[in-house]
Structure 1
Amino acid sequence: MEEYRLILDLAIAFGAALGGGLIARLLKQPPILGYLIAGIIIGPYALGLIESIGNIRILATIGVVILLFTLGLEFSLRELKRLRNVAIFGGIAQIAVTTALGMLVAMSLLGQTPREAIVFGFLIALSSTMVVLGLLVDRGEANSPHGRVMIAILLLQDIAAAFAMFILPALGTADGSLLPTLGVAFLKAGAFIALVLVAGIWLMPRVLRHVALRQSRELFIISVAALCLGGAFAAYYFGLSAALGAFAIGLIVSESDFAHQALGNVAPLRDLFSALFFVSIGML
């Protein structure tokens, strides 16, 4: 019965998302707002209609991965290179200034220690990548100049968050482990970049070309899904964001002759799982 309960939970979640999205559209609001409210209504703190919340969240994570993968498909290495100065300097400045202000508030108003204030300030500095990207896609602004800049800064924030996962625990110790921890983080990031480059230059073009020659839409979708999810897990394994890994794989595929075909096949899945993600956020 458990597997059928998951089916029922998915039906409830998608039905609630449909209702919330339609109402949001009627009120001239983003559908994302409707998805969030729908999640609140069917979640454990309201009607409690969903039992398999853990499984729903696992599936919702796939929505994050697919969304970043499709954004990578719509980008290009040339465009990312053009935006590198804005992303690096603008992103670092935004994180630094917001973190400093957050630390000031935490120490002066909340009475936190400097180490606690650093964590508080850094959390304040980060934006919700999925929420911002969802709004950009919904409003058709993901390909606009300001949308590209925002995406580049969000990617830098994801990288900073990954390094923070290594650094912040070391700040709580007094054994001088910060530098070794940083070294490990950089080594892992470098290993992932090397893996993506090798796979992007040698493996992925050959796989996609071989599958495309079979003229099977089903096999092509399967190959794209394997690359997307494999890249996401590889990034997670090396201590980075799974979404960042999916974006990197999408970026590599965007340089191939199959980028438009991949985007056309994956876009419906992106919309479906993205809606599920926002419903799951509402259930928190």
Structure 2
Amino acid sequence: MPIGGQAVIEGVMLQDGPRVAMAVRTPDGPIAVEPLPNRFAVPRLEGIPFVRGPIKLVQMLALGWEALSRSAELAYPAEAPASRWESLLVIVLVVVILVGGFMLLPAYLTGLTGIENRILFNLVEGGIRVALFLGYLAAISFLSDIRRVFQYHGAEHKVVHSYEEGVASVPDARGRSPIHPRCGTSFLLLFVVVAILVFSLLPTSNVWIRLGGRLLLLPVVASLTYEILRFGSRHPRAWWLQPLLAPGLLLQRFTTRDPSDDQIEVAFAALRYLTDEDARSSSTTGA
């Protein structure tokens, strides 16, 4: 199973099947490496095509949130951790923004245009959704903390590239591309494209039925998106997939930055924990 992951606050989270590890650079310099529980792992279903997509999406969101929360505690230990109710409130707000802002709002706004043609309606709706997504990324990219997260994002990709080539060293990773075809950023943009195609199958012109139908079809969109992205990572030269994969790869140029060697070392610390039995048997380490 290929290794994947994401950038977190001052670090990287990597996953290799059921094993998940997070490495974070602490304020005094050492790298803290910890395992993360994969509470949504369903090994019997994760190998079934078109079933594993929604499962992987739930895992990605759950692990991502837990990794971000824990990395904040390690990177900024002086700050008081959020209470359970505060964390729950943030999760609810994130879900509202994702579902309402990126899924329902574009459909509602497009409905106000009075467009009757179903294909044209979905193209306009998809365009609004892409514009909102790009605007969101552009807005957060001005934050210094987000720019550092983008650097760790690049470190994650460089280290995974190096590992997949069987080298796995800082000098080798330094020269690797910060862009990777299995990136979650590519998943999000491809998700929007696939949603345009799938949602165009809804025959009704009633705006409320359209909104409800979109919510019900989200698992279908997630399944198709995951399978296309997985196939594309195994067959990167398939010409007929390039129109679908190219926008996501291009978008990564905005969500990744060239990392420093110190940041690459953090990503390698997480990788060593996943691939080295001795590292897993030890506790939090310094580097």
User: What is the TM-score normalised by the length of structure 1?
Assistant: 0.34
Q: Relative to total residues, which structure has the larger helix share, 1 or 2?
A: 1
Q: Taking structure 2 as the reference length, what is the TM-score of the superposition?
A: 0.33
Instruction: State the structure with bigger RCO (CA 8 A, min sep 6), 1 or 2.
Output: 1
